[in-house]
Structure 1
């Protein structure tokens, strides 16, 4: 007989032998699994960007992305080198597909609606370009709308295509900047871009009424104008509430309505064209502030579509394709109406201000074309409002999903739309829509420049620190080429900001200061449990 203590000791010894044997088997199986994964990786190297192969690639071989990520329920994540402001670790997670509502909420956006959403976020037609002729004369106006897309629009669109497919989720540029520079700068990016977007959206009721007031003089001021602004804002806000897929197809219809009268006007103008009018220039009488702000406002916001990437059907292919077609549509939609209006109508620079294309239509085609252009302008401004509000509200949703805003902002309606984000954006529009056209443009451009500088820095930094990261679309230049691509638009932004008035600078700097102060306030609210935030590695964690 064996005593109790001896029997326990024998059992312990047997347990240790079994444990050692099991451990050896486990190590053997692990090595076999690793060898099989290595063979699969080598065999399917061209397909290494797929999610399963990337899991093997990162987990077993720890390439340049850093430590293998810890599993999260219903979520695939990839480790990248990132600057983590104030963190003990050099690495934080870039979530490749966070808990995304895109697969469970409503219909996703396809190529054609996406093209027209981009068209309306950037342009919407030649409405609002008239001030470029007033500011700089015919030649500089035409050259501006040919050269500015090369200097600004193409680099911004290329960056958006690369970064938007690298991070195909709602939040867009906020995610890019957070991933490259840390959550503090990501929050500042979100604050400045949302504010500039809301300021931009406040323009469209103003432009809508400016085009209609020649036919309905009562809309020029007073109570009728105020009531019209409120009614229009509420109607379009409700359309946004009903769903992004509806907004996308409405944008297609409105786009056709907006473009068609200018195509007709261009054809009618051909017999009346006098090419010498295109080359009139007066370099001594140029309002550079108005000129640059008009060009900048009419050709920016290519990055806005990135905040809807989580709602797009197959964004890795759809987004670059839609940006390409939208770029062509925008440039042609500006240049030919300007070419017709300048070449076929005697020049009076002082008359070239917002709404003047209605007068050009009356001179060239009569009352019927005037009403058509005015109707198209109204439809275009509706389309721009819808597209911009969609972008702004889904940006807030994306920030909430990343834990940067309270959980309230992540809630959706039964149509899949971010209710709180829509209400916040609509409130901002109503508060700001009483400003003049030029004041609104200058204020939004200044804030937009701040945000774009952060985007360009994030774009180049991620090229430097994460060169091997999966980029379904990659701008076909190296890191040095990517940095060089960002230089001309950065110089242009500095010029736009330098020519801003002291009033615009002061207001914009106050807005930036509010964003800087808001970040620690929200962080404190999350840490103390005063507000509930969705849990995310880069967000404010609720206790």
Structure 2
């Protein structure tokens, strides 16, 4: 259970790296308010849904299987397809970002050398994941402890050198409020996404009915603190909100704690991308395994490793796609990822309502508190946040994100027309 907590944290948060641009685009005050209060309307209700459904249906594939049980094959397929597609936009990016940070010491890593280093990292993480969730958990635990130590140091030093009001200005001067609100909300939703994702490996976790809610109870407040506290104290100590950009936490650490602390923070930022890639491979590769098990994808993806019991073919296929995307940064496509993630999240929170109506007799060891009012809260709050974020998208996203969404129904239609769906196959019969 200890290792599972850190695997979940490394997927959902990892560290505060990546939120720095939010300061200059949304403003320091608005950013801090988002970091503090957005979880009430996003990751907390999603976590409550994940806790109820994981304890009721601890199955491989997690929320994909929940949506399918609640609304049928079509919507279940979309939940799985959109989630797996979204992972492609992240897997390659994390490897590329790691190599970008490595260029700080080795500026000659460009072109094909940059690509080879990125692919090499993907290969290493793939090997770790084929070995099984226990090794993944130990790897994630070691990484996160190393990552969080300099962040804790930055918070302590920032508190000791507090000289500015970190909430001012609330928004950047002379910027339209709606633009600031939309950009900040989109980044905030990205930061606080993924708390239902580890439901996809429920069958590989010891006692998931207890482990998953316990991990959520620790990871959600820890994630909020990891984002909010270093941002608050760095702004309070330095006051230079206009200078914040990607990688600024390394600059803040150097300015406040000296060159050694800046170096440690830079290494932590690199390892954060390793941790994110590690947990992304773990969680996203169980999705094609579950969909193949239900007949939507080729049956070869069901194969489990004869020694480690992991879906190694699904892991290798996903890793190959990450490697093909590792030659570019895909930073603009992060907004498309948000659309795919929002669509998956909407289906997931609706599943808790659908299953209560469809299967009221289902044993639920843990239920969302608040009865009917609590159910409305966990369903409507994430849907409202998703719609607000999508409405604030830029023109590039409006051009491409709907296309990414439509690919899901198109893929389902092609599968149906050509009768490619296979009978359900038990994973126990495909262990080789």
Task: Tell me if TM exceeds 0.5.
Answer: yes
1:346 to 231, 235, 239: 239
Segments of 5+ residues of structure 2 without an aligned counterpart are 427-432
1:212 to 98, 102, 105: 102
How far the C-alpha of 1:254 sits from its partner, in A, is 0.8
How far the C-alpha of 1:485 sits from its partner, in A, is 2.8
Distance 1:437 1:148 in 2: 26
1:132 to 9, 13, 22: 22
Question: Deviations for 1:189-239, whole angstroms, at most 9, x for unmatched residues?
Answer: 1000111122122331233234333343334x4333222222222221222
Is the CA contact 2:43–2:193 (under 8 Å) kept in the aligned structure 1? yes
**CA 297–189 in structure 1, closer or farther in 2 if over 3 Å, else same:** same
How far the C-alpha of 1:531 sits from its partner, in A, is 7.4
Matched residue, 2:346:
453
* SS of alignment partner, residue 490 of structure 1: helix
Segments of 5+ residues of structure 1 without an aligned counterpart are 1-110, 537-543
How far the C-alpha of 1:482 sits from its partner, in A, is 0.5
Pair 1:203 & 2:96 matched: no
Q: CA RMSD in A?
A: 2.0
Pair 1:227 & 2:120 matched: no
How far the C-alpha of 1:270 sits from its partner, in A, is 2.8
More RCO (CA 8 Å, sep 6+): 2
* SS of alignment partner, residue 279 of structure 1: coil
Is the CA contact 1:177–1:458 (under 8 Å) kept in the aligned structure 2? yes
Distance 2:102 2:278 in 1: 19
How far the C-alpha of 1:475 sits from its partner, in A, is 0.8
Structure with higher Rg: it is 1
User: 5 Å matches for 1:490-505?
Assistant: 490-505=383-398
User: 5 Å matches for 1:21-100?
Assistant: none
Pair 1:256 & 2:145 matched: yes
How far the C-alpha of 1:477 sits from its partner, in A, is 2.4
Question: Deviations for 1:352-394, whole angstroms, at most 9, x for unmatched residues?
Answer: 2221111111111222111111111122211111111110111
Is the CA contact 1:176–1:455 (under 8 Å) kept in the aligned structure 2? yes
Is the CA contact 1:243–1:416 (under 8 Å) kept in the aligned structure 2? yes
User: 5 Å matches for 1:400-419?
Assistant: 400-413=292-305, 414-419=307-312
Bigger shift: residues 507-516 or 377-386: 507-516
Question: Deviations for 1:284-334, whole angstroms, at most 9, x for unmatched residues?
Answer: 426444322221111111110110111111111111011111112111111
How far the C-alpha of 1:484 sits from its partner, in A, is 3.1
**CA 213–274 in structure 1, closer or farther in 2 if over 3 Å, else same:** farther
* SS of alignment partner, residue 218 of structure 1: coil
Bigger shift: residues 338-347 or 245-254: 338-347
Matched residue, 1:237:
126
Matched residue, 2:226:
333
Distance 2:259 2:99 in 1: 18
**CA 210–360 in structure 1, closer or farther in 2 if over 3 Å, else same:** farther
* SS of alignment partner, residue 194 of structure 1: helix
- TM-score by length of structure 2 reads 0.92
2:282 to 378, 384, 390: 390
Is the CA contact 1:162–1:475 (under 8 Å) kept in the aligned structure 2? yes
Q: How many residues align?
A: 421
Distance 1:416 1:303 in 2: 23
**CA 382–248 in structure 1, closer or farther in 2 if over 3 Å, else same:** same
1:269 to 138, 143, 158: 158
- TM-score by length of structure 1 reads 0.74
Is the CA contact 1:199–1:428 (under 8 Å) kept in the aligned structure 2? no
